[in-house]
Amino acid sequence: MVLELKVDLSEALAREAKDKGLLESAAVERMLRAELKRSRVEQLFAAADRLAAQTSPPLSETEVETEIQAARAQRRAKDASRR
């Protein structure tokens, strides 16, 4: 996919970034990928923190299996409706 970006930068920052090759497509792609990865890791840790803060008792193995089966059935139904 080709996407054209317009970014407003100060002249000094733009010059330095250009001199360092940071405005090239490959460099921008690397920065975007790194930021997306950092964001996913941050979301994972936030979810872990929320999970650790839960005061309800953990699910039993049977309850976990029931939840998994329900999620799979829901996904199968959703996939079947797309066909």
DSSP sequence for 17-31: HHHTTTTSHHHHHHH
Question: Residue 41: which domain range?
Answer: 9-54
Query: What's the pLDDT score for residue 82?
Result: 83
In a domain, 34, yes or no: yes
> What's the number of domains the chain is made of?
1
Q: Are 14 and 22 in contact (CB under 8 A)?
A: no
What's the whole-model pTM score?
0.62
In a domain, 68, yes or no: no
In a domain, 18, yes or no: yes
Going by pLDDT thresholds of 50, 70 and 90, the confidence category of residue 28 is very high
- Whether the CA torsion 67, 69, 70, 74 is positive or negative: it is positive
In a domain, 23, yes or no: yes
User: Residue 4: how many CA atoms within 13 Å on its side-chain side?
Assistant: 0
Query: What's the pLDDT score for residue 33?
Result: 98
